Chains A and B, each alone.
Chain A
Amino acid sequence: MTASQQAGFGFFCQFSYRFFVLIILMLFLSGCAGRLNKASDFFHAGDPQRALSLLEEGDNLGKRNRLLFLLEKGLIFNQLGEYQQSVNQLLEAAKLIDQFEVVSLSEQAGSLITNEWMTRYQGESSERLWVHSYLMMNYLLLGQYDDALVEAKQSLSRLEKNPEALNADYFTRALIALCFANLAEDNDAYLVYRKLADDLPSPALVATDIVAHAERLGMVDEVEKYRPFLSQSFPEGESELVLFVANDRIPLKRPGNVILPPSFRFSFPYYSAEKASWPRINILPHSWSYRPLLSTDLGVVARQALAVRKARIIAKQSIRIATKEAISQSVGNKNDVAAEALVRVALFLLDEPDTRSWQTLPGRLTLVRIPLPAGRHRLQVRLSAYGEFDQVIDLPEVQLRRGQRKFYSVRF
């Protein structure tokens, strides 16, 4: 064996060892994600309790997936009706998201020669908003209206940071307005409804609320402006039952790859173009009519949030490709072609797109507001996402005082 062959073999052994460590690390990381995927499968198969048990087994998935762990648990608790537990998980998630405002240099540098799976999952801007949406819902369901308002303000702050990505989340925006209206914060409620009217396909969907709040605030011109959008068919009542209706599941992030010679792999995540269906809702026994539905296709908002982040993904991926190319060439210069080829293959394989996401989210969230006369009510909700009604849910008996609002959550 010549000296250069010996050097090449030495490098090969050293490299194999490092490569092996990296592969083990990748397997470990994908194993963590595997547990999250499995929990999501159990959840969507209608077994949230099993999904929760799986997530509560052993450790909490390490630092990198800690946010996902909290998000999934928060939503599972919400589905199980354990709203306070859900609040605890989601508040911790919100705290963690705040910490991500400080960019970690070591983490970013490490991810440049590997991939995004090595970094802590920080959540898409849409997921960061939905943490607060679910906190709002949980607090309203618990009757803690002051706390719901705190979350409404946090949601507004998220919306202001990323309007381009998040403005299509009509459900969350209507929920924010409802949190304000619920505590007679008429001016704030009016402002949210007014902005919604500009962004919705028709102002008629929120005209009733705008007129009501504008009247209380003495804004005569606004009342006159929105009165023509009022429809006689819109129901009115002394009190209100509000349903948070969730259906379908959010599209999963998929791996996308563009491969260029000699070994450039441009990897990126994307959401598949699935659409969540609109729910058909019938309130029994009297076919109570409800206000116009305000609904969000979460897939649309998630795709938009990812699209807004696209420029940053491309920039980072370009730096990663340049770094990996520099490493490959440096190895090639110091060793033989085989070593360079091996490094290129390893770095190529390592460049896996980060497809982590909050998987237990529904595909669509819809706000259903049913005006009712004050008194005792026992209602049934008939729901369907695809044509014929296929699910009937008995709501618990509700006693409504004049002007009171009560909240209930339904997922099908």
Chain B
Amino acid sequence: MQTFSWLIKVVLVGLLMLLVAGCSVTTREVGSDEKVIYDEGYHFSDKKAIVDDMATSLLTTYPLLRATDRPVLIVYGIANRTSEHISTSAMTDDMRQALLKSGRVRFVNKIQRSNIEQETSYQYGGNVAAETRIQKARQVGAKYMLTGTLRSIEKKQPRQFRLKKKTLMYYSLNMELTDLQTGLIEWADSTEVIREATKPFIGW
């Protein structure tokens, strides 16, 4: 009988320790290459995979493959057509960075256009020495326009009696490179992420 009561005490202490360990705060560094996925939704590691895929495809395919004159590109953003609030500008920023690092292309800074205009006006406002002013009408026009669309399809298991439900998430990014002079699409590619997650219906 005494052994039994001792056993109950040990089990209770064990449970308490588990509870306390569960409540403690833990932190750890996560590497940028590490895949950390909590659910079926879009994660930061998806962005890296998507950007790497697209940048490699763009640089190893016509027209950039054969280009020797470091053509100038302009990014017109990726349209978000998913059912989540995803910052697609983070994708285009990383994509631009990866392409610039290759040294094979150049980019027009579209986002800073109004600031460039403001700075130019200031330089011509009378405070800047004439010999140090930038020259007007010397900006470079883009040859190609980079655009894309991120889409998602979500499939949930239908309602029925069970304790868990499965969700299937499909993301696809389509990107295009359009020749601004001819209007022709010179390059297009897509990459996909498909993920399934299971969630419980009942919790404590």
A interface with B by C-beta (< 8 Å): 91, 101-106, 146-147, 149-150, 153-154, 157, 183, 185
Contact = CB atoms under 8 A, between A and B. Distances in A.
Interface string B14-44: 0000000000000000000000000000000
B81 A185 contact: yes
Closest 10 CB pairs of A and B: A153-B83, A102-B203, A146-B80, A103-B202, A150-B85, A106-B204, A104-B203, A105-B204, A147-B85, A150-B83
A102 B79 contact: no
B203 to A, nearest CB: 4
Interface of B: 79-85, 88, 154, 199-204
Contacts of B204: 104-106
A91 B81 CA distance: 18
B80 A102 contact: no
Contacts, number: 38
A105 B203 contact: yes
A157 B85 contact: no
B184 to A, nearest CB: 21
14 contacts: A102-B200, A102-B201, A102-B202, A102-B203, A104-B203, A146-B80, A149-B81, A150-B82, A150-B84, A150-B85, A153-B82, A154-B83, A183-B79, A185-B81
Interface centre among A104, A106, A153 (most CB of B within 10 A): A153
Contacts of A146: 79-81, 88
A409 B63 CA distance: 48
Contact of A102 (B82, B83, B199): B199
A183 B202 CA distance: 39
B192 to A, nearest CB: 19
Contacts of A102: 199-203
B83 A101 contact: no
A70 B85 CA distance: 19
A105 B81 contact: no
Contacts of A149: 80-81
A394 B203 CA distance: 52
Between B80, B85, B154, the greatest number of chain A beta carbons within 10 A of the residue's beta carbon is seen for B85
B59 to A, nearest CB: 28
Contacts of A147: 80, 85
Contacts of B82: 150, 153
A147 B82 CA distance: 9
